[in-house]
Amino acid sequence: MNPNGPYPGRQLFIGMTMSGSPAVVYLVTGRSPASRERKATPCDNGVIIGPIGNQPYDPLRHYTGVKYDPVSGVMVVSNGIQTDAVFETYKLLYNTNSVPSKDFMEILLDGAQAEPDSLYTPRIAGVITNTADNKPVFIVGIKRHDIPARAFQIEPAPGTLSGISTYKGSLENPEGSDPSLGLANIEFRGKTAIELAEHLFEISKAAYNGDDIRVCAVGGIRSDDKHNWQVAMRNR
């Protein structure tokens, strides 16, 4: 069962595999047919959440959900336009040997604001980067429309990923997640990116008006060289 309930909306987790490799996973779910008419597609060093067929581009539904740098190892996952800003900021911090604190995540998410839709969907983002001596740093953040952005720097145990969803989990009455409650956790015993994507996809099975709400899941595991990423997708 999904730890954020039957309807997490968009959801991300970051942490480590059992062997200690940094890992991320991102889930997209949708109640409406339009929300479900999407798929995850690989692009250069990333994944686009885009339309199926010839649907017009919608900036609230279509975006770069995952982006990584094979040189620095920086990996970002998010539910919207903030992906590029978070990626470029933490890549710059890495390249200038600056401390990659969670304060930058909060500033960027406050700038992005919540989505301008009827539910004021929160912006969420996660980043895995490195210190100057190549120790991994894990940061998760959320921006709800009615409170300042909140970010968490975590120290995951092997086989555990921590994260956040846009909604509290109610299928009938979606509300923005409350960051004061902290982060949810999932356990992962697999070794590959596709196993990770499949794991979150499978534990998130739920239906709304008779339709499966799951759209896609994207998993990523950083390779042993501490920089490049293995990324895989599971589409509905």
- CATH number of the domain bearing residue 145: 3.60.20.20
Domain tally, the chain: 1
Is 181 among the domain residues? yes
Structural domain including 94 reads: 10-235
pLDDT at res. 133: 85
Separation CA 192–CA 206 (nearest Å) = 25
Instruction: Note if the pTM is more than 0.85.
Output: yes
Query: What would the mean pLDDT of 57-83 be, rounded to a whole number?
Result: 94
Q: Strands, E, within 17-135: which ranges?
A: 22-29, 38-43, 46-51, 63-68, 75-78, 123-130
Residue 177, helix vs strand vs coil: coil
Is 104 among the domain residues? yes
Query: What would the mean pLDDT of 161-187 be, rounded to a whole number?
Result: 97
Query: Does residue 61 register a pLDDT over 80?
Result: yes
pLDDT at res. 176: 98
Contacts of 26 (CB under 8 A, 6+ apart): 10, 11, 12, 47, 65, 66, 77, 217, 218
Separation CA 60–CA 172 (nearest Å) = 21
Is 135 among the domain residues? yes
> Going by DSSP bridges, is the β-strand pair 160-165/10-16 parallel, antiparallel, or unpaired?
antiparallel
Residue 206, helix vs strand vs coil: coil
Query: What would the mean pLDDT of 98-123 be, rounded to a whole number?
Result: 97
**Residue 235, exposed/middle/buried by CB under 10 A (0-12, 13-18, 19+)?**
middle
Is 5 among the domain residues? no
Contacts of 153 (CB under 8 A, 6+ apart): 101, 102, 137, 138, 139
Is 40 among the domain residues? yes
Residues paired with 13 in a beta bridge = 25, 163
> Going by DSSP bridges, is the β-strand pair 63-68/46-51 parallel, antiparallel, or unpaired?
antiparallel
Is 3 among the domain residues? no
Nearest to 185 by CA among 154, 150, 149, 141: 154
pLDDT at res. 132: 82
Is 4 among the domain residues? no
Is 213 among the domain residues? yes
The residue behind tokens 């040997």 is 97
Query: Does residue 226 register a pLDDT over 90?
Result: no
